[in-house]
């Protein structure tokens, strides 16, 4: 079902698409290719954080539900070198770094609805050469589909006409019980290493072993295992390159008896609990956990990280599934 959901500040019509299958219902916006709402039959609250009206999405400083690109996460000083040329990107953080594709990245653009059915929708956007400083025209397609295994999948493909960067993610904040925080949620992450960061959340360039640290989630544990909701805004290293679809993480709630499995082909998983996020909206800190499959942050400035360069003739391919299950 496609409905008119309002008009952006420039007058552009914003549409909302509802897809449903096997008791799972998702509502998606053409603005930002955004997952606005996700519900499973028999559980009243939405499983993801979002707004009930369009206006907050037009700024959306926390990227609730947005499809984020052309580069998810951070690039130090908004600067990198590509084929011997220094590229300067939009510096949209207070510290002067580049975040989530810039202030008018994919999360804040109007996507075209190409096709829609009862259980899937395909959206498209074309980012022009020079947009937010990136070289090359980039054509992006994002397909949301409710699969037979009761998962919401998002497949993103992209092509370019000049060497550029391409690194997308879905910026969904999950809360599986509808409560005021996520401290009673359990987290498991299939990663042996993570990226330590500096005070600006920029990786220091070396992956570190999770064993013996607070970042060891190989076995599921409560987010407040140590008595306080541990703040996370870190990349967990899943692999050295994109791979076959595999399980990356599981978030679960003993209260609702629901769990969400995160399956992806991406080499990294950024996890953000929002513990230090200065919200200026109706959502308080630590009310949701963002699970963001993507390439590693600041990869263009770290040659040993998995590459995020896309060349003409190549296809960027990102696949993620959020599988919702009921626990016994």
Instruction: Point out the residues that are catalytic.
Output: 171, 292
Distance CA(72)–CA(100), nearest Å, equals 4
**Alpha-carbon span 315 to 109, nearest angstrom:** 22
Q: Torsions phi, psi of 80, nearest 5?
A: -155, 165
DSSP string, 159-189: EESS-EE-B-EEEPEE-SS--S-STTEEEEE
Burial class (CB in 10 A: 0-12, 13-18, 19+), 284: exposed
From residue 108, alpha-carbon distances to 9, 127, 223 in Å are 12, 12, 31
Sign of CA dihedral 197, 202, 207, 211: positive
Q: Which residue has the tokens 């028999």?
A: 42
Residue 125 burial (CB < 10 Å; 0-12/13-18/19+)? buried
Rounded to 5°, the CA angle 141-143-149 comes to: 155
In this structure, the dihedral spanned by the alpha carbons of residues 252, 278, 67 and 289, taken in order and rounded to 10 degrees, is: -10
First to last CA, the chain: 33
């Amino acid at each position: 079902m496609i409905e008119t959901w309002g008009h952006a500040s420039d007058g552009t019509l914003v549409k909302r698409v509802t897809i449903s299958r096997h008791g799972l219902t998702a509502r998606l916006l053409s603005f930002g290719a955004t997952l606005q709402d996700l519900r499973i039959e028999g559980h009243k609250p939405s499983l993801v954080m979002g707004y009930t009206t369009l206006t907050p999405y037009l700024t959306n400083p926390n990227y609730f539900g947005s499809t984020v690109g052309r580069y998810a996460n951070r690039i130090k000083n908004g600067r990198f070198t590509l084929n011997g040329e220094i590229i300067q990107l939009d510096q949209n953080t207070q510290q002067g770094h580049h975040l989530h594709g810039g202030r008018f990245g994919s999360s804040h653009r109007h996507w075209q609805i190409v096709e829609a059915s009862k259980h899937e929708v395909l959206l498209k956007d074309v980012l022009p050469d020079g947009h937010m400083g990136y070289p090359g025209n980039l054509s992006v397609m994002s397909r949301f589909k409710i699969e037979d295994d009761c998962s919401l999948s998002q497949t993103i493909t992209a092509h370019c006409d000049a060497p550029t960067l391409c690194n997308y993610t879905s910026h969904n904040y999950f809360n599986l019980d509808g409560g005021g925080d996520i401290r009673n949620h359990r987290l498991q992450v299939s990663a042996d290493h993570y990226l330590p960061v500096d005070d600006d959340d920029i990786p220091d360039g070396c992956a570190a072993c999770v064993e013996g640290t607070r970042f060891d989630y190989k076995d599921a544990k409560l987010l407040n295992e140590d008595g306080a909701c541990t703040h996370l805004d870190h990349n967990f290293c899943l692999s050295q390159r994109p791979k076959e679809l595999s399980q990356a993480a599981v978030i679960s709630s003993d209260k609702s008896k629901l769990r969400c499995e995160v399956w992806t082909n991406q080499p990294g998983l950024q996890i953000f609990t929002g513990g230090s996020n200065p919200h200026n909206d109706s959502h308080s800190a630590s009310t949701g956990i963002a699970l963001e499959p993507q390439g590693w942050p600041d990869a263009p400035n770290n040659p040993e990280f998995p590459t995020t360069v896309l060349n003409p003739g190549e296809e960027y391919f990102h696949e993620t599934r959020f599988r919702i299950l009921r626990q016994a």
